[in-house]
Amino acid sequence: MTAAARHSQAMHFHARAGEKVRDEGLQKALQKAKPLFVGKRAKGMAALADDGLAFEMLRTACVDIRNRVLEDLDVWLEIFEARATASGAEVLWARDGDEICELVIDVARRHGVSKATKSKSMLSEEAHLNEALAAAGIRPVETDLGEYIIQLAGETPSHIIAPAVHKTIAEVEALFAREHGRPAETRTSADIPAMAREARQVLREHFLSAEMGISGANFLIAETGSAALVTNEGNGRMVTTLPKVHVVITGIEKIVPTLEDFATLMRLLPRSATGQTISNYVSLLTGTKQPGDTDGPEKTVFILVDNGRANLLGSVYQEMLRCIRCGACMNHCPVYLSLGGHAYGWVYPGPMGSVLTPLFTGVENALNLPHASTGCQQCAAVCPVGIPLPGLMQRLREAQVERRLRPRGASLALKAWAWLAGKPALYRWVMRRTARYLNWLGDANGRIPWLGQAPGWSEGRDLGAPVGKTFHELYAARKRV
């Protein structure tokens, strides 16, 4: 079993989903976030028209860029490695999460690091890096406000760009009061700036004292050997420029060929994520501190991670590697917006997580996720790199059937039903009987309050009882008249 599979709780999706639906605090937080997620993106995309641009046109361009990279990923990675090395950085390769941890700890030891500040990195979540660092005597400090909250709470992010979206203000206040050693107050959304200032004060000390900064990268730019970082809080700049060592951890698929390609992708990334025309900070980090530079790390290390990605190249799932981690799919997913991210059980939630989790941790270790979709296709509609997420979930469902991983009872029922649907005369007879039966189940108002064959349905919904005759019966009767 791989390290990723070991940490995954995706097999408990069903039970967790039930808990999350009943979690009032979580539901409140999600209901608050939903109109912001959806509304901001819609506004951001509509504003493209001001520049004479349109979403569909840009999406096609972004799809092309990402496809071009994936077709020759090895070549682009070699170019990146050569350029990054030439600019003074070191490029290391990690096969999986465990190797990420080993490499980071090794770099830390070589440079006498006792504290590392971190800007947001989902790869470090894949690797459970914070636990590994702590075990090695190195203190990791998350500096993205959401990640900081999550770290204080001892939780994992529930969203890839809004990691603490599942938390209410009251919960964050209780956490801050406890961790910052002060009495708790009554807080409203008007107090958010004050709370952010409070966190900033604590973090400032860490920024100045950490010997190592760890960040992710939204993109790696092959032609310049740079990491591109797209952030809003400014913590990314602190993490990547103040400490003497900067470690960038990112997936091998994050390469884009040129700065111009990066600029094109940036038209859609912030708009898809937060509706912003551009994020507050866009950093291009190249090499190490040079003579005459006033800041920057003395040592820059890129850790480029596979952790299941290379396996997708050339497979029917390759399109998933186009993902630029904007979060739009989950922000528009009715299932995600009902559960939040923790129900999904591993690092990535929502539709992209329902595809990535089985692919990275094993199809057999995430059986529910590809089915955790209403098939509404909104994720595909908003994806800035045109990933056919519903189609990929469909493929994963097929893979489960091919590998006989579906529950036996359900498979037999489906087979029996399909057999029946292939025998029209018998099918008609069964439908007539079923129509009578369901009609008989109806109460005085013509409703079925409890259907034993589908208790799940009946727990939350009535079912309108049918009139007792099928369409084909009514049609035959009409023809006779």
Partner 1 sequence: MRVALYVTCLVDLMRPAVGMASLRLLEAAGCDVVVPPGQTCCGQPAWSAGNRSLAGDLAKKAIAELEAYEYVVIPSGSCADQLRNVYPQLLADDPAWAQRAQRLAGRVFELSSFLVDVLKVCVPLADFNGSVSYHDSCKGLRGLGIKGQPRELLLKVRGLTLREMADCEECCGFGGAFSVKFAEVSTQIVERKCVAIAGVGADAVVGGDLGCLLNIEGRLRRRGDETTQVLHIAEVLAGNAE
Query: Which residues of this chain interact with partner 1, rule CB under 8 A?
Result: 14, 17-18, 21, 38, 334-335, 338-339, 370-378, 380-381, 394, 396-401, 406, 410-411, 414-415, 417-418, 420-422, 424, 427, 431, 434-435, 438, 447, 454-457, 459-464, 466-467, 469-475, 478
We find the least distance from the C-beta atom of residue 314 to partner 1, in angstroms, to be: 19
* Residue nearer to partner 1 on the CB measure, 49 or 477: 477
Tokens of 180: 């910052």
Residue 40 Cβ vs partner 1, minimum distance, rounded to whole Å: 15
Q: Closest separation between CB of residue 19 and partner 1, Å?
A: 10
Smallest distance, partner 1 to C-beta of residue 368, A = 8
Q: Which is nearer to partner 1, 209 or 417 (CB)?
A: 417
E strands present in 159-253: 212-215, 219-221, 226-231, 245-251
The pair phi, psi for residue 182, each rounded to 5°, is: -140, 160
Return the HEC string of 372-404: CCCCCCHHHHHCCCCCCHHHHHHHHHHHHHHCC
Q: Which of 259, 221, 256, 226 lies closest to 240, judged by CA?
A: 226
Q: What is the distance, to the nearest Å, from the Cα of residue 359 to the centroid of all Cα atoms in its chain?
A: 14
- DSSP conformational letter for 466: P
Give whichever of 70 and 333 is closer to partner 1, judged by the CB atom: 333
Name the residue nearer to partner 1 (CB basis): 197 or 404. 404
How many residues are recorded in the chain?
A: 481
Give SS3 for 32. helix
> Looking up tokens 């060592």, which residue turns up?
245
Q: Which long-range contacts (CB under 8 A, 24 or more apart) does 363-366 make?
A: 363/396, 363/399, 363/400, 363/403, 363/405, 364/403, 364/405, 365/5, 365/8, 365/10, 365/11, 366/8, 366/10, 366/11, 366/13
177 vs 399 by CB, closer to partner 1: 399
| Residue 65 vs 320, nearer CB to partner 1 | 320
Nearest approach in angstroms of CB 357 to partner 1 is 16
Burial class (CB in 10 A: 0-12, 13-18, 19+), 290: exposed
6 or 403: CB nearest partner 1: 403
Q: How far, in Å, CA of 42 to CA of 147, rounded?
A: 26
Q: CB of 470: closest distance to partner 1 in angstroms?
A: 5
Considering only CA atoms, which of 249, 240, 244 is closest in space to residue 302? 249
Considering the complex, state which of residue 195 and residue 430 has its C-beta at the smaller distance from partner 1.
430
